[in-house]
Amino acid sequence: MRRAQRLFSGHFSYTFTHAITRAPAPSVINGLRSVDTGSPDFKRMQIQHSAYVSALRSTGAEVIELSPLAKFPDSCFVEDTALCLPDVAIIMRPGAPTRFEETRHMAPHLHNLYPTGCVEAIDGISSYVEGGDILTTGREILVGRSARTNASGIQELKRILENWEYTVREVITPKGVLHFKTDCSLLDEDTVLCTPRLQAADCFEGYKVIKTARGEEAAANAIRFNDLVLFPAGFPRTRDALVKAGYNVREMENSEFAKIDGGMSCLSLRFSP
């Protein structure tokens, strides 16, 4: 089938023509966080976000920059609002109640980008799924059950994706980890970067695995975007392992977003409609 072939076409999982980002609003300093390490510096956050957008653009991709949403402090983390695949986009239903309405502001943009009938939605009243729990590889879509993504949400997402000929596998996010992709990222169709604790959960049998260095677990949330691996600054041993493995690594300052549980993947939706 055409759709299945597009999923298993290898570069599908990290080669993109488009990205969507949303600039942080001043209210972002009140964003959700699992551990309070202090409020972000808004001006520094703006600088870091601008550098992130520039890095995406440097690969030749079209970056659609959305305006800040002051009412929603976490709305710069657009990845949680949708799953964007080559032929279909699925609007998520966030597990944090304060984030429910963010999807309503994202949906019109996806309807503009995708053909009619190619945008679907998680709408079950007991279903919750956030994009931070979804890792798309060249062979399957892994969805991590977590505090923000529940079994009902995964089953609803699976039903939708199977109609589009995609293979979905449910995995369990380790206890105490916010999102599945907090602890992992895709480097190419066969290789993932992940923390030792996630590797121990046997999520990646059949994949090549590069582990984060001890004490550098926060480096696991990187993104492969075309020819670049956007990688959070401050984790030199893990960075060196990626460079040694042949990846084109670009370090990005992410200190302010990290204070509210934000990583490299959280700040964009990446796709080729």
| DSSP per position, 236-269 | HHHHHHHHHTT--EEEE--HHHHTTT--TGGG-E
Helical ranges in 59-186 per DSSP H: 102-113, 151-163
* Alpha-carbon dihedral angle through residues 40, 134, 93, 54, given to the nearest 10 degrees: 40
Q: Which residues of 118-146 are buried (b: 16+ CB within 10 A; e: fewer)?
A: bbbbbeeeebbbbbbbbbbbbbbbbbbbb
Query: Predicted confidence band at 5 (pLDDT cuts at 50, 70, 90)?
Result: very low
- Distance (Å, rounded) from C-alpha 60 to C-alpha 218? 28
Which positions ≥6 away from 2 have C-beta within 8 Å?
none
Q: How far is CA 38 from CA 96, 118, 204, 222, 260, in A?
A: 21, 41, 34, 23, 9
- Distance (Å, rounded) from C-alpha 144 to C-alpha 161? 15
pLDDT at 177: 92
Q: Which residues of 7-36 are buried (b: 16+ CB within 10 A; e: fewer)?
A: beeeebbbbbebbbbbbbbebbbebebeee
Is the pLDDT confidence value at 270 over 60? Answer: yes
For the beta sheet containing 228-232, the strands, ordered from the edge strand earlier in sequence to the opposite edge, are: 223-225, 228-232, 249-252
* % of the chain at pLDDT higher than 70: 96
pLDDT at 140: 95
- Mean pLDDT on 4-18: 71
Query: Predicted confidence band at 2 (pLDDT cuts at 50, 70, 90)?
Result: very low
To the query of whether residue 49 is one of the catalytic residues in this protein, the response is no
- For residue 107, the SS3 value is helix
Query: Predicted confidence band at 10 (pLDDT cuts at 50, 70, 90)?
Result: low
Average pLDDT of the chain is 94
Instruction: Domain count for the chain, please give it.
Output: 1
* Alpha-carbon dihedral angle through residues 185, 187, 188, 190, given to the nearest 10 degrees: -70
Query: Predicted confidence band at 252 (pLDDT cuts at 50, 70, 90)?
Result: very high
DSSP output for 75-95: TT-GGGGEEE-SS-EEE-B-S
To the query of whether residue 194 is one of the catalytic residues in this protein, the response is no
pLDDT at 9: 54
Domain that holds residue 16: 2-271
Which among 76, 194, 203, 266 is annotated as catalytic? 266
Q: What is the CATH number of the domain that holds 63?
A: 3.75.10.10
pLDDT at 1: 35
Query: Predicted confidence band at 6 (pLDDT cuts at 50, 70, 90)?
Result: very low
Burial class, 108, CB count within 10 angstroms (exposed 0-12 / middle 13-18 / buried 19+): exposed
- Mean pLDDT on 134-162: 96
Place of tokens 């502001």: 105
Which among 76, 179, 194, 203 is annotated as catalytic? 179
pLDDT at 133: 98
pLDDT in tens, 79-129: 999 999 999 999 999 999 999 999 999 999 999 999 999 999 999 999 999
- Mean pLDDT on 63-81: 98
Which positions ≥6 away from 115 have C-beta within 8 Å?
none
15's tokens: 């080669």
Is the pLDDT confidence value at 212 over 90? Answer: yes
- Mean pLDDT on 190-218: 96
Mean pLDDT is lowest, of 175-179, 253-257, 262-266, for 175-179
What global pTM score does this model have? 0.95
Is the pLDDT confidence value at 38 over 90? Answer: no
